[in-house]
Structure 1
Amino acid sequence: MKISSEQLGQVLKVYNQKKSSKSTSEAKKTKGDKLSISTGAKELQEAKKALKNQPQIRKEKVERLKKQIKTGNYNVSGEEVAEKMLSRTIVDNLV
């Protein structure tokens, strides 16, 4: 049996059509990305939003301290400074 070049061309044409239709159907199935965010990441996002809503500077406290410094009434004992430094160090070591 002889196969002519015309017949071979037709076979290849059909083969390529089936191959391309198969690959497009597979591409449709796998098309699109999926993203899932962990619970911890969601909580972190919420915490960041809450932090952004907080004022950066506590204006009342800053104004009060400015007045105390200006009038010479701002006094901090060495014990208070040491206590804050130690408590901050302890917290930093725990976290």
Structure 2
Amino acid sequence: METKKVLQWNTRMSALYALGVWTMVGSYFYFKYTGKYDDLEPPTPKPEAKNPNEVVYQTAHTNSVIIYKKDFVPFTTRIMNFIESFTGGAAPGDRGNGK
């Protein structure tokens, strides 16, 4: 490339970068000034559930129901048990959960 074209592209990219940064900074101050996105509370589970394996999270715009299986084992525990089957695993008293 010619030196003139390289300088031209450098100027264009600098202007684009400056526009992006000022847009981000301006948006931050706009939302802080108007208070639209102040600290929102995380959803809290409702205590009244018919099924003990069912948890209901309700917010202003959503209503989520999570139903856990009766004897559910997380995937991380399954992977850990699979690896420990080859290595012999930890002694029963060394595990964090006491098993």
TM over 0.5: no
TM-score by length of 2: 0.30
Structure number with greater CO (CA < 8 Å, separation at least 6) is 2
Higher helix share: 1
Larger Rg, first or second structure (1 or 2):
1
- Higher normalized strand content (fraction of residues): 2
